[in-house]
Amino acid sequence: MPRSFPRSRSDLTVVHLDDESVVYDDESGDLHHLNPTATIVLDLCDGSSTIEELSRTIADVFGMHADRVEPEIRTLIRQFRRGKLLEPADRSRQRLPLAAS
């Protein structure tokens, strides 16, 4: 299965209110209210990490096991995709192994 590197759309307006956020999509007119957990995950969706890496980062911060966190992160990512908060998945982007010398 190709690895995805979730990236939030750069054209969204995101306003942080305490630990939560409101996301406005000018293109569709949709308004999304994100709870604190969803806010953290969306903020981390910068295209530099896989879902597995995001899960490990969040698990480390909260002192949890990544295998417990990852299913929840995957659910949030699916919700973000359905809500069109992420750039379309770029299935061609994969990390290449370093060449041996």
> With contact defined as beta carbons under 8 Å apart, do 80 and 86 qualify?
yes
DSSP letter, residue 1: -
Token readout for 5 is: 């590197």
Residue 27 above 60 pLDDT? Answer: yes
The pLDDT assigned to 47 comes to 95
Residue with tokens 């992420």: 86
Q: What is the CATH number of the domain that holds 45?
A: 1.10.10.1150
| Domains held by the chain: number | 1
Average pLDDT of the residues in 71-84: 96
Q: What is the pLDDT of residue 1?
A: 56
Cβ burial, residue 100 (10 Å; 0-12/13-18/19+): exposed
| Per-residue tokens: 99 | 């060449």
Is the pLDDT confidence value at 72 over 50? yes
- 7 occurs within a structural domain: no
What's residue 74's pLDDT?
Answer: 96
Is the pLDDT at 101 greater than 60? The verdict is no
Task: Please determine, for residue 5, whether its predicted confidence score (pLDDT) is greater than 90.
Answer: yes
Rounded-to-integer distance, Cα 10 and Cα 13, Å: 8
Residue identified by tokens 């969803």 is 38
Residue 65 lies in domain? 13-82
Tell me what pLDDT residue 94 has.
47
